[in-house]
Amino acid sequence: MLKCEPTQARVKGEVIKYRSGRERTITCGSWLLSAERAEPEDLDGQIKWSMAKMTNDLGVWQTLTSSYDVDMFCGAFMQSGNDGLSISAESMLALGARRVELELDIYSPVDDDSN
């Protein structure tokens, strides 16, 4: 429906076998599209890239978001304690029109002097 292949997809009930021999049964299906890591950070560019890969058909998005939890998850690794990032109005509008929730995990740099 999204007009692109996922980076990874899992089906509920699928059994994942690890090299260690351990097995895990998937309890919730998922469809993932991963953007390439950007350094320095370019969260806005990654959102635009992701949106450009998938369909612009808002009817498709409405169908998906009415049946599934849909979000864009982003991890931001900051270089200093006072770093920032920005997301353009264009990207926020694209996510909002598709009813895609933006989830951010923001990681501060590790301070070697703190214990």
pLDDT digits (tens, 9 = 90+) for 17-56: 999 999 999 999 999 999 988 877 789 999 999 999 999 9
Is the pLDDT at 3 greater than 60? The verdict is yes
Is the pLDDT at 1 greater than 60? The verdict is yes
The kind and range of the H/E element at 30 are strand 30-32
Close Cβ partners of 85 (under 8 Å, ≥ 6 residues apart)? 41, 43, 76
In this predicted structure, what is the pLDDT of residue 113? 55
pLDDT digits (tens, 9 = 90+) for 96-110: 999 999 999 988 887
In this predicted structure, what is the pLDDT of residue 13? 95
